Structure 1
Amino acid sequence: MRYPVVAGLLQKEGKVLLAKRPAHKKRGGLWEFPGGKVEEGEAPREALRRELLEELGILVEVGEEVAVVDYDYPEVAIRLTCFSCQIKEGEPRALEGQELGWFEPEEIDNISLAPADVSLWRNLRKTLLQR
């Protein structure tokens, strides 16, 4: 079984928001697109709205699905779905001990991303770098 996970593509002035996983968590110290697990009975877009409010303190409008990646970690198989998001209210704040950063698309190639996010970035970068 693949567990559903969602991520948000948040952009501002051409930069992309990434979150660095806290050191005490699995894959600690690696960067990822903000988001999280989809709870049972929850729609993916609802899950992303909830996760971004909990983790970053922002209200977002969840837009189109921009990429889907299946990834097998040693302990779990996931399906990571990324949606384009627009911030409607608030400024992203690190509410769960993570570090946040806004990065130029060209910079992301040199950042240590979580493995599933590496695959996700490969899909997203073509689109973002063509704009």
Structure 2
Amino acid sequence: MPTPQPAVKALIEYDGQYLLLKHVVSDQHLWTLPGGKVEFDESPTEAVRREVDEEVSLTVDVGSPVGIYDFQFDNVHIVATVITCSVLSEPPCVDTTANPADETIFNHEWVTKKSGVSDRPMNDGLAQVLASL
């Protein structure tokens, strides 16, 4: 039986807005936060810094966990911890073209919690975490 895999998601805040990414997950176009799996012998803080750098080419200051959710796809069970982050460069210049992972990021947007989160298709667990903030 497969074991759940730990992951981190970065809730990156800049000027009152949060960064969302549009991915394809199990043939669905969903909005999510930057992040990914925690590698062996890597702390969650190290993982979130690495994932944010890989996916959107930003350097962040890592804050505190604000929620946890899980999801399954392709026979994999992921348990993701959402961690607050702030951008260390101003203005933030998001670049999704250098991502080494085999995943396609179709779009990114900076959104406010009220206007940009509730009306976008995303994982139910992530939506609940974001709604609780």
TM-score, normalized by the shorter chain, greater than 0.5: yes
Counterpart in the other structure of 1:112:
121
Over residues 70-98 of structure 1, what are the superposed CA-to-partner deviations in whole Å (9 max), with x where a residue is unaligned? 33335111110010001113522222452
Counterpart in the other structure of 1:4:
6
Counterpart in the other structure of 1:103:
111
Count of aligned residue pairs for this structure pair: 122
Contact map agreement 1:20 1:28 (CA 8 A) in 2: no
Equivalent-residue separation in structure 2 for 1:60 and 1:87 (angstroms): 5
Counterpart in the other structure of 1:55:
55
Over residues 3-52 of structure 1, what are the superposed CA-to-partner deviations in whole Å (9 max), with x where a residue is unaligned? 0111000122222110111x5x6445211111111111111110110011
Counterpart in the other structure of 2:46:
46
Equivalent-residue separation in structure 1 for 2:65 and 2:38 (angstroms): 15
Counterpart in the other structure of 2:95:
93
How far the C-alpha of 1:122 sits from its partner, in A, is 0.9
Structure 2 gap segments, 5+ residues each? none
| TM-score with structure 2 setting the length | 0.81
Contact map agreement 2:14 2:86 (CA 8 A) in 1: no
43-52 or 96-105, larger mean C-alpha shift: 96-105
How far the C-alpha of 1:125 sits from its partner, in A, is 1.9
In structure 2, what residue type is equivalent to 1:46?
A: E
Counterpart in the other structure of 1:124:
130
| TM-score with structure 1 setting the length | 0.82
Greater helix content: 1
